[in-house]
Homo-oligomer: A and B are copies of this chain.
Amino acid sequence: MGLEQLLRKHFSKGHEIYLRNISVDCVIFGFHENELKVLLLQAKYAGIWALPGGFILKEEHMDESAKRILRNRTGLDDIYMHQFHVFSQPDRSTKAVNQQFLKNVGVEIKESWMFERFLSVGYTALVDFTRVQATPDEFAAACEWFNVQSLPDMILDHREILETALRELQINLNYKPIGYNLLPEKFTMPGLQKLYETILNRKLDRRNFQRKIMATKVIIKLADTKKGVAHKAPVLYKFDLKSYKNALKIGMGFEL
């Protein structure tokens, strides 16, 4: 199907399969080369970027919508996703934006459910950067990772959504185990610390960090060390999946 046809169908028939007035936007975090990254889409025929988003199918649990969006953009499945906030400014209207988009593409549509007001539910996911197949959706020209420290212009309130998600992540660092999805299966203690330092955007004491992380019991020291690195070979660790999942549920009481 060509873009024009796709757009006509989406704008004129979308309300037959999706709920109205609600959308889902996903803040997908990854970690690569000691940088915290977020996955964004670039609208076709426009420079501006957006969070991967979508709508809720009429018979679908909202968590499934978020997972579907994640799956379609990354190829990843079975990732824990978490709703964190509903954005409901009345003027976060997509009408002007959508009409501009249609104009850019050269399609004229008069009436559409897409011109109504949308609330958006923000979801976060933490994913393994190396396993992601970044895939644009049908209305996007590109799907790329950005360092959270240097973000491009973003549509609507997507910048605010992203920053709320980041704040959430920083707070959760103290109560939830983080890293299972962001790191490879085996990782080093300095590697884990870099992740924490990157998210918190501040330095942590190496020795106290190790003491506290080990006190949570969610990671296990392996016999192996990481080979082929300069300097002393660091010991490898992995998450203890059982404790990890437990800690995800009940939290950890933990202060960095």
Tell which of B58, B89, B117, B255 touches A58, judged by Cβ atoms closer than 8 Å.
B117
Q: CB-CB contacts of A85-117 with B at 8 A, as 1s and 0s?
A: 110111000000000000000000000000001
A86 CA / B86 CA spacing, docked (Å) = 8
Name A108-150 residues within 8 Å CB distance of B. Answer: 117, 119, 121
Given contacts A83-B85, A85-B83, A253-B255, contact A59 B21 (CB under 8 A): no
Number of interface residues of A (CB under 8 A): 24
In contact, A61 and B83 (Cβ under 8 angstroms): no
Instruction: Say if the beta carbon of A62 comes within 8 Å of chain B.
Output: yes
- CB-CB under 8 A from A121, the residues of chain B are 86
- The closest CB in chain B to the CB of A59 belongs to B90
In contact, B83 and A62 (Cβ under 8 angstroms): no
Name A212-230 residues within 8 Å CB distance of B. Answer: none
- CB-CB under 8 A from A85, the residues of chain B are 83
Instruction: Say if the beta carbon of A81 comes within 8 Å of chain B.
Output: no
A44 CA / B19 CA spacing, docked (Å) = 29
Tell which of B56, B119, B251 touches A88, judged by Cβ atoms closer than 8 Å.
B56
Tell which of B19, B63, B117, B171 touches A117, judged by Cβ atoms closer than 8 Å.
B19
A22 CA / B121 CA spacing, docked (Å) = 12
In contact, A88 and B117 (Cβ under 8 angstroms): no
Given contacts A83-B85, A85-B83, A255-B253, contact A60 B19 (CB under 8 A): no
Q: CB-CB contacts of A16-48 with B at 8 A, as 1s and 0s?
A: 000111100000000000000000000000000
A62 CA / B19 CA spacing, docked (Å) = 17
Given contacts A83-B85, A85-B83, A253-B255, contact A60 B21 (CB under 8 A): no
Tell which of B21, B56, B62, B89 touches A61, judged by Cβ atoms closer than 8 Å.
B89
- The closest CB in chain B to the CB of A255 belongs to B253
A68 to chain B, nearest CB (A): 13
A90 to chain B, nearest CB (A): 5
